[in-house]
Amino acid sequence: MSRDAPNGVTPRRPPPMAPMGRARYIVIMTLVLVGLGLLVGRIVDLHVFDHSFLQGQGDARTLRVDEIPAHRGMITDRHGDPLAISTPVVTLWANPQDLPDDGIQRLRLAQALGQDLDALDARIERYADREFMYLRRRMTPAAAQEVLDLHVPGVHARREYKRYYPAGEVTAQLLGVTNIDDQGQEGLELAYQPYLAGVPGKRRVLKDRRGRLVRDLEVLDDAQPGGDLTLSIDQSLQYMAYRELKKAVDENEADGGTLVMLDADTGEVLAMANQPSYNPNNRAGLDPEGLRNQAIVDVFEPGSVMKPLAMSALLETGKFPPDTIVDTSPGWMVIDGYTIRDVSNNGKLSLAGILRKSSNIGMSKLTLQLDEPRVPQRYRALGFDRAPGTGFPGEATGSVPSPQVWSSSQWAALSYGYGLSVSALQLASAYTAIANHGRRLPPSLLRLSKAPKGDPVIDPAIADRVLGMMDEVVAPGTGARRGMVPGYSVAGKTGTVRKTGSGGYQERTYRALFVGIAPVSDPRIIAVVMIDHPRGDAYYGGAIAAPVFSRVAGNALRLLDVPPDRPSQDDDA
């Protein structure tokens, strides 16, 4: 028995490897060693020679560039009182995948957010496959902190700004509004969006893989705040104008109204009020009708308030000396098959008497003596066929007809304010030519550093003469007497216009208007009042719109420290 085989058992030796198996083994081992070598080489390369690659890949998963919101510029009145400001707010958001499933935590979160638990659960379920959802936007910092103090996993905060309008509905249509992202949507907020918005900044931050902020690293670009906008509006006059307009609309059960007050020396808009309005700080249940700034974007047939402007064109022809008398009997006339009427038979009238009695017959007879369309030419020169140029979104251009062949009825209608369309702002701007010795001033919604030169559109002597005729219109015993202001002289003109519908002019549906300049001795303000469809027994401009002017102008002149120029004037209305 061999010594190498204990217990008598002979060990079996493995069979020698076949040549083909040995070759396969060598190939496999060679591939493994080569792969390991390549892997080790790449590791050495990345850590020693090309470590910036790994650094970049790591940073891409942890470093982020976040936006720094820019503070939106403030809008103020001409004295610096705030009309629109941006206040800091906090928006809460969440990663739905990180929010806990625990019912108690969900309930506490919903209660802190002021939301229904079932509604919150439904939203979380809807966003379950995403990494971002808003929980609640634009919360006060204190309210947001109460939510954050719950330390609910997955809940985060973002600092933002919210627009606030101290004057509320009083300046709503003029200023407009911003959306939830603080971008201008209406009015001046939209018109000056790039200027007010500013430029957001950038900052580099470190976040974990779930998007949570770990550390603020550096500011790459500082946020550039938006510019401040100073309006021509006087907030005290604006409040007063809005209050009086709203009162008149309510008392007369009217559909609405508008009031525009200009500085007679500069063309600046001192007040611009509209009805209906809305609260820009709470837009729940908003009536879309309240969004429109009617004073700028809406047009209407102006009626008799155009007569002084038409009279200026007639006087410049030189055909009508101061002692001209027009027989308006019997109070009606037919032109091209159309019947034109006065309210009553006024008999023989002087030129001033035609304005004082607001005679359609008198204006028509004067106009039909001309050989060329001087009245529509004057209207165009006064800006009734183009936008006022304030920059306000959607400002109306108005319209003045320009047919190839004029009919007598068209000439006549234009002379007493029918057949054209104007906005309240255009109308007020046109009357700056009467108040400024023939120079029309462009209207401005922004405060001006100096008065513009204006465009000479009316002969100075004629403008002054028409101003004096309008002074006679607003006097005791006239239809415009309710526009008088105690202690001050007023030049004005009333207007009562039938509204049109799908079937033409409507019965018992009117607009009541009044245009006034005060004081006559040295004009300081120009105001246009329009009340849309008053439903009471009275609907004439002298009865509805003139009293609004009287109250607004009286308060405005006193607030502007304009000295009285006619202390003995009394209203016998």
Catalytic residue numbers, as ranges: 304
How many whole angstroms separate alpha carbon 555 and alpha carbon 96?
59
Q: Are 552 and 244 in contact (CB under 8 A)?
A: yes
How many whole angstroms separate alpha carbon 328 and alpha carbon 350?
10
The distance of Cα 274 from the centroid of its chain, to the nearest Å, equals 12
How many whole angstroms separate alpha carbon 368 and alpha carbon 411?
7
CA atoms within a 13 Å half-sphere pointing along the CA-CB vector of 327: 2
β-partners of residue 334 are 339
Q: Are 259 and 273 in contact (CB under 8 A)?
A: yes
β-partners of residue 446 are 231
Q: Are 422 and 299 in contact (CB under 8 A)?
A: yes
> Residue 565, SS3?
coil
How many whole angstroms separate alpha carbon 417 and alpha carbon 421?
9
Residue 238's φ and ψ, nearest 5 degrees, are -65, -45
| Pick from 340, 431, 321: nearest CA to 379 | 431
How many whole angstroms separate alpha carbon 221 and alpha carbon 68?
9
